Amino acid sequence: MPKKIIKSLSVLIPVLLLACTLTFLAVQKTSAESPQRIQGKRVALIIAYRDFQDTEFNVPKKLLQKEGALITIVSSEKGTASGSEGMSVQTDMLIRDVQVADFDAVVFIGGRGVREEYWDNPKAHAVAQEAAKQGKVLAAICWAPVILANAGVLDGKKGTVANGGGAGMILKEKGCKYSLWSSVVVDGRIITANGRSAAKSFAKAIIKALE
């Protein structure tokens, strides 16, 4: 190899190494300076013990945790809850033991089981009412907005729901300004969504409300 080329390489290689090092350090600094958006915020994810909707649970949980939220999984029973698509989740707390003041957000997840377990559950209604009273972020997806409607917290509020089993009619009867075609509706601190296809947008709305 000609001496001229060797000399050029001896100059170029250290420069390239220095550039790579500086780039790496810049990326590390940017990462360190980009804190999680809702670091330390406490979120109760309330699911049916049988037949909660897997996607509606898993997508928000992952996105909330990615942004720093502390998740507590709440259900009607302690043990291993089962999703309608085969997911298994260990519950942390019974819904009857929920103290709303301990959380920044209360989120009701949908699925077939929510109708049987929570639509007419006085404790679920009390949790929703207390969350609204305390100004917490209160969210529900799929059929779960019916819980909020039956608790009276959607009266005069805009909202949406999965339109099956008469859910849309219940919202309207309870005074909700029901939107059939909206996938996610935000009215103040109350967030509703109409099903698993809206799970990601639903989670993003919760994160934004918690910032």
pLDDT bracket for residue 31 (50, 70, 90): very low
**CA atoms within 13 Å, Cβ hemisphere of 54:** 7
143 has pLDDT over 70: yes
Four-residue CA torsion sign, 82, 106, 78, 94: negative
Tokens in use for 126? 């009390």
Q: pLDDT tens, 144-178?
A: 999 999 999 999 999 999 988 899 999 999 999 99
19 has pLDDT over 90: no
33 burial type by CB count under 10 A (0-12 exposed, 13-18 middle, 19+ buried): exposed
Q: pLDDT tens, 185-207?
A: 999 999 999 999 999 999 999 99
127 has pLDDT over 50: yes
pLDDT for residue 23: 56
pLDDT for residue 86: 96
Tokens in use for 34? 């980009």
